[in-house]
Amino acid sequence: MEQHRAVVIGAGIGGLTAAVALHRGGWQVTVLERAADLAPVGAGIGLAPNAQRALDVIGLGDRVRDLAAWQGDGGMRAPGGRWLARTDATAAAARFGGPLVLLHRATLVDILTSALPDGAVRTGAAAALVDPGGDRSPARVATPDGEIEAALVVAADGIRSAARHALFPGHPGPRYAGCTTWRVVVPAPERPFAPHETWGAGRLWGTQPLKDGRIYA
């Protein structure tokens, strides 16, 4: 059978997940990432059971579940510290079909890239969609090393997607919603505490443990 070629523009979580799925489906996949490398950036990410079931489809769900760190109590607090609602990890897993897994984004990227063949991810490769192709012609993607033809192009190049703009030039693009988030991963304090979110007037604070002993806030 002819092996179809797919090009994924963007090596974020969405792009890498699509690339792994295509690779498992028998496609020849090339991932183009404009950054010079996949060095750790960002902070933590929470994967609920439904997200883990999506990772099951590409054979990576159990690897992620092994990183679950939340045990015991958790819940929601008022700004003064009073508990508004409480639950625990066992009850949450029983209700939703699995644990909530908090992990560093870089850890998830490593898990995804490990499921791709060597050389599938090209960094330092800014890509531009030259021709979206058609029923009888392949799409063409320009890279610093020349053009690539593909039967499928996945536009996963972020919130300001150049590929989206090429396909839908009239799309208005993202709009600021009025909310700003600061995220950080720090060493765990010596004194243990229950994972929680605190809801205040116009502000929200959350802390969750990671498997490696750090705290995502």
User: What are the residue boundaries of the structural domains of the chain, listed by start?
Assistant: 5-170+183-216
pLDDT in tens, 78-107: 999 999 999 888 998 999 999 999 999 999
Can you name the CATH fold of 5-170+183-216?
FAD/NAD(P)-binding domain (3.50.50)
Q: Which two tokens stand for residue 18?
A: 């699509």
> What's the predicted TM-score (pTM) here?
0.89
CA angle at 64 for the pair 62 and 67, rounded to the nearest 5°? 115
How far apart, in whole angstroms, are the C-alpha atoms of residue 198 and residue 206? 6
Instruction: For the chain, give the longest Cα–Cα distance.
Output: 64
How far apart, in whole angstroms, are the C-alpha atoms of residue 165 and residue 170? 8
Give the 3-state secondary structure of residue 86: strand
Handedness of CA 61, 50, 155, 6 (dihedral sign): positive
27 pLDDT higher than 70: yes
pLDDT in tens, 150-183: 999 999 999 889 999 888 999 888 899 999 999 9
Q: Residue 41: what pLDDT? A: 78
78-97 in b/e burial notation, b at 16+ Cβ within 10 A? eeeeeeeeeeebeebbeeee
- 3: confidence class by pLDDT, cuts 50, 70, 90: low
